[in-house]
Chain A
Amino acid sequence: MAKEKTNVAESANVKSASKAPAQPMTAMAVVAPIVGWLVPGAGHLIQKRWGRGLLLMLSVVAMFVIGILMEGKVYAFNTGDILDMLGFVGDLGAGVLYFVVRALGIGIGAINLATADYGTKYIIVSGLLNIISAVDAHDIAIGKKP
């Protein structure tokens, strides 16, 4: 009985090992997602994925800028409403763009414009898409993706 249990445990270990092969943890695997978060698309560019990097940069930056031009709201750090907190997390995903806009005092949000709410969503989603891009840069760095 005890031997059977050991065999089951061993086979489970073998299965989990074959499912998740160890990925090499290089310096690039750490640097790429951080750079990619700070500057949209840069995580791909430093790995010489020029086309992908430029398209990601264009998409994230364009969405963020359009959101600002639509007078969307940029969330500051807060501990109030849960949606406001999540809004801050989404906005923060845009990296340097977020810090620049906050430093310039832009993104107060116009309540008199119907489209300003779209702008707020554009800004949040651009940050979230940038986080996905940074994770993708990490996957490329560890060789999980070509």
Chain B
Amino acid sequence: MTLQLSHFSAALIFALFASIVFGITQRSERREMLKYGAKCFLFFVVGTIAAGWAMWILRH
């Protein structure tokens, strides 16, 4: 069985799981964990989209 993900969905799944671990391990309070995890996820996604556009601009 082989899993074929698109580049974007692979980046989204990566961001989701990495953000969960970062949130839990880098903060002490539950509310802070949620906030930090959400912030990490947002940075991952925005960073991915920004990098994608940057590569598109460089290509054209």
B22 partner residues in chain A, CB cutoff 8 A:
132
Q: In the docked arrangement, what's the CA distance between A55 and B33, Å?
A: 12
Q: B38 interface residue, CB < 8 Å from A?
A: no
* Chain B residues within CB distance 8 Å of chain A: 1-5, 7, 10, 13-14, 17-18, 20-22, 24-25, 28-29
A58 partner residues in chain B, CB cutoff 8 A:
20
Chain A binding site: helix, strand, loop or mixed by DSSP? helix
Q: Is the CB of B4 within 8 A of A115?
A: yes
Q: Is the CB of B5 within 8 A of A70?
A: yes
Q: Is the CB of B24 within 8 A of A125?
A: no
B17 partner residues in chain A, CB cutoff 8 A:
59-60, 62-63, 126, 129
Chain B binding site: helix, strand, loop or mixed by DSSP? helix
Q: A69 interface residue, CB < 8 Å from B?
A: yes
The total of Cβ contacts below 8 Å across the A-B interface reads: 64
Per-residue interface assignment for chain A, residues 103 to 120, with 1 indicating a CB less than 8 Å from any chain B CB and 0 otherwise? 000000010010100100
* Chain A residues within CB distance 8 Å of chain B: 52, 55-56, 58-60, 62-63, 66, 69-71, 110, 113, 115, 118, 121-122, 125-126, 129, 132-133, 135-136, 145-146
B2 partner residues in chain A, CB cutoff 8 A:
69-71, 110, 113
Q: In the docked arrangement, what's the CA distance between A135 and B21, Å?
A: 12
Q: Is the CB of A122 within 8 A of B4?
A: no
Known pairs A60-B17, A118-B14, A145-B28. 5 more at Cβ < 8 A?
Answer: A56-B21, A59-B18, A70-B5, A70-B10, A133-B21
